[in-house]
Structure 1
């Protein structure tokens, strides 16, 4: 140990553990459900896709009874953990009794030792999460087993302290839920506005194929060999192209031949659209405004370059994101179980509703106002997510202790 002693802590091997805390394997404080059940009418069935990454929210779970295969039963208060692709951080506290698929572990706490909400936050914490990532196996679809998870060593405070820590973190989660609801409501309003705008006068507007009013450019592929004069430049991946905004939080670089830079470089006004992904992400995108120059785009991202005298970039992005656009892309997309994709020929054939340019600008401005509201709320959401991560780092490690008799909770 690097220190002779540490106030408020006790020695445990090479580490220091806060006084009164226990150091135990995860398998001694929690177990997984093994009881089987059937997804039938009225019984909620949770799949991996129903657990929203990093938020603990369940979205769109199925209670229709259309799935009849045997599932794992879970109980209200269980921690539902997505063992497939664990890097997604899919955790949720079950708000009801139900069943889940084999890609989801239903973990229940030993209530004499650990609080369910504390366990939920503990498993999301950086300490446990980094170990989970290290234990996952498989390249294309990494996963982790409970046999491995149960051996993870964790430090836990007394139950009374756990409940206080969980209450503090839950308060932040509640705030995040409110913001998420506001974002969803704004998205719904935006979709309703677009539905109205594109249906009001569409019968009077001509329809042309996208290739008649824009150029469609494919992007650079990764891993090209034998480049004559390689140059490393920033490029946009599918992860950067979101519905209604371009996320530049992490921009990676790619090697390309210097002679090909102009071919793959984005121009301000290009409409970026994704080739595929989840059904709800098909054709998503936004307008590139030259935030980085030069900047390339990956081959899974199309760059559509409108003819300015005929087609407004922001109008096109709104049309593609509307129900009208999504219905077209889904109608011609190549589908697998949870994914869909389109090719450049299908994108070129996209039937563009073409009102006069001034009407295009009016529609684009209305949609832009909704997008600005969503962006503001998303920034607020990111702030609270950062706040929660900081609190988790302090509270789950005992760096900050809670006062059990204090309303604010933090010592």
Structure 2
């Protein structure tokens, strides 16, 4: 039987959605030869690119160009810790002008406003020397180590937790360049190596100061930061598009099921199906609805033991059989409670309306298997009813709405009884049309599954791509041609060696002017 125009219409819709959110995505990467232009990196090329670029060890990232120098964080900025709340003080119950930033607020290189705590004016005055601004870089130093970022300007002057530090007063380093360096796997590995764990992991401030990183000329630092801003923004855009696709596919599957059980999927002129006079019936008219076993202490003494399914084993269109228990049964019960291929199992209770009545089709995965009473079994009359069509109906928007209308609520739990399941209304189609509907749904679902698998592979690649790009940047590969085209910006007084000399001279001057203080740890 050939596919109909109606079906092709749904396929076309799927393809349009796929092209919209999952195009042949390309990422712009600088090309080293022959000129400073760009090349494209497709998803299919990512594995090779990541393997080539992801030299993330300390040894590889320190393989930088001869024109670069090496310095430490302590040479280019001050590292200052935050402060805990004074003893006996607590957060304010109201929003005040004094935010207190904690590690839990550090999200994606910024501050997540949703959980910010505030302190009173009197508490703020007691810790007012421990604030942070958007001119600084934050870094988490306790618990979760190495979260780095820059706070939003509107949070300038916020108090900073003792579980974080700030890098401030930068000399000879472009702040955004240093931020990207701290986001690299090289830096994260150094953080881990220098973390002391006596209960809660802790990264001492002096260890942060000692961390070394490559120092290009200042103009090249800015060029690297600009390139990384552009490239990583593309990666974020790609990741956002990929992350959106599972929900698109979920909506697509629901639209397929809605069309299927309403007859629209087989509503065409090329195929003539026998139409039933009756268009609606109930589950009890097309199947047997059967309860399961109630677990009790008496069953542990019964000699016949059988594997049995619980609610934890049944999900929508899926059985999870890693943990299947056994239960004692009586001989006279077996005929009623043994599962057979094409039995539907429906979950009769759940705390969420979304999951009430979730169902799966048994295919005989475990022999001589039974089920508990919280799973209701539906065994169809195979001469008139296709079991998989019934499953698809229960999964469809129409079927779920019918299940919800039958469910009752009590003590925070939605439940279905055998009688309520038996009374669920289902659409009536000839067996031949049901089989054709099932075939078409499965074909469309298989297409969606293929896209979903491609998305998972692409997401894995993209998750590694950021570190691959950072590694390439801090080996000097992103700016190789830029250096060739701008020799005057990396030589003489503009060289990294001259920059490092100025940094070190300024540090000596600071040390000479500063009064001796106890080292902060």
When normalised by structure 2's length, the TM-score is 0.44
Equivalent residue number for residue 347 of structure 1: 421
Tell me if structure 2 keeps the 8 A contact 1:273–1:303.
yes
Which runs of 5 or more structure 1 residues have no equivalent in the other structure?
A: 1-6, 10-18, 38-73, 82-90, 124-149, 396-400
Tell me if structure 1 keeps the 8 A contact 2:279–2:429.
yes
Report the Cα offset of residue 364 of structure 1: 2.0
Equivalent residue number for residue 324 of structure 2: 253
Equivalent residue number for residue 284 of structure 2: 211
Q: After superposition, what is the alpha-carbon deviation per residue over 1:127-170, rounded to whole angstroms, capped at 9, x for unaligned?
A: xxxxxxxxxxxxxxxxxxxxxxx9999xxxx8434544696996
Equivalent residue number for residue 299 of structure 1: 373
Q: Does 1:190 align with 2:256?
A: yes
Q: After superposition, what is the alpha-carbon deviation per residue over 1:227-285, rounded to whole angstroms, capped at 9, x for unaligned?
A: 2226362635345322xx2143x521223114355543321111222223322223232
Alignment counterpart, residue 180 of structure 1, candidates 246, 251, 255: 246
- 3-state DSSP class of the match of 2:363? coil
- 3-state DSSP class of the match of 1:359? helix
Tell me if structure 1 keeps the 8 A contact 2:314–2:359.
no
- 3-state DSSP class of the match of 1:310? coil
Q: Does 1:371 align with 2:440?
A: no
Equivalent residue number for residue 36 of structure 2: none
Equivalent residue number for residue 14 of structure 1: none
Equivalent residue number for residue 345 of structure 2: 272
Equivalent residue number for residue 35 of structure 2: none
Tell me if structure 2 keeps the 8 A contact 1:79–1:106.
no
Matched pairs, number: 300
**Any residues of structure 2 matched to 1:8-407 within 5 Å, and which?**
105=115, 112-114=136-138, 159-164=179-184, 173-174=239-240, 176-194=242-260, 196-197=262-263, 204-221=277-294, 224-228=297-301, 229=303, 231=305, 233=307, 235-238=309-312, 240-242=314-316, 245-248=317-320, 250-259=321-330, 263-277=336-350, 278-335=352-409, 340-380=414-454, 402=471, 404-405=473-474
- 3-state DSSP class of the match of 1:179? helix
Report the Cα offset of residue 209 of structure 1: 2.3
- 3-state DSSP class of the match of 2:300? coil
When residues 186 and 233 of structure 1 are mapped into structure 2, their CA distance, relative to the original with a 3 A threshold, is: same
- 3-state DSSP class of the match of 1:309? coil
Equivalent residue number for residue 136 of structure 1: none
Tell me if structure 2 keeps the 8 A contact 1:275–1:342.
yes
Tell me if structure 1 keeps the 8 A contact 2:289–2:379.
yes
Equivalent residue number for residue 168 of structure 2: none
Tell me if structure 1 keeps the 8 A contact 2:308–2:326.
no
- 3-state DSSP class of the match of 1:269? coil
Q: Distance in 2 between matches of 1:93 and 1:357?
A: 54
When residues 202 and 279 of structure 1 are mapped into structure 2, their CA distance, relative to the original with a 3 A threshold, is: farther
Tell me if structure 2 keeps the 8 A contact 1:115–1:163.
no
Q: Quick check: which one's helix share is greater?
A: 2
When residues 234 and 331 of structure 1 are mapped into structure 2, their CA distance, relative to the original with a 3 A threshold, is: closer
Q: Distance in 2 between matches of 1:107 and 1:385?
A: 34
- 3-state DSSP class of the match of 1:190? helix
Tell me if structure 2 keeps the 8 A contact 1:209–1:351.
yes
Q: After superposition, what is the alpha-carbon deviation per residue over 1:94-143, rounded to whole angstroms, capped at 9, x for unaligned?
A: 99998x6xxxx568999745479xx99989xxxxxxxxxxxxxxxxxxxx
Report the Cα offset of residue 214 of structure 1: 1.0
When residues 172 and 207 of structure 1 are mapped into structure 2, their CA distance, relative to the original with a 3 A threshold, is: same
Q: Distance in 1 between matches of 2:348 and 2:315?
A: 11
Q: Distance in 2 between matches of 1:196 and 1:264?
A: 33
Q: Distance in 2 between matches of 1:382 and 1:294?
A: 36
When normalised by structure 1's length, the TM-score is 0.53
Q: After superposition, what is the alpha-carbon deviation per residue over 1:283-304, rounded to whole angstroms, capped at 9, x for unaligned?
A: 2323222233243334333221
Report the Cα offset of residue 361 of structure 1: 1.3
Q: After superposition, what is the alpha-carbon deviation per residue over 1:349-368, rounded to whole angstroms, capped at 9, x for unaligned?
A: 11222222112212222222
Deviates more, 1:195-204 or 1:362-371: 195-204
Deviates more, 1:197-206 or 1:310-319: 197-206
Q: RCO (CA 8 Å, sep 6+): is it higher in 1 or 2?
A: 2
Tell me if structure 2 keeps the 8 A contact 1:80–1:93.
no
When residues 234 and 251 of structure 1 are mapped into structure 2, their CA distance, relative to the original with a 3 A threshold, is: farther
Tell me if structure 1 keeps the 8 A contact 2:254–2:397.
no
RMSD between aligned alpha carbons?
Answer: 5.6
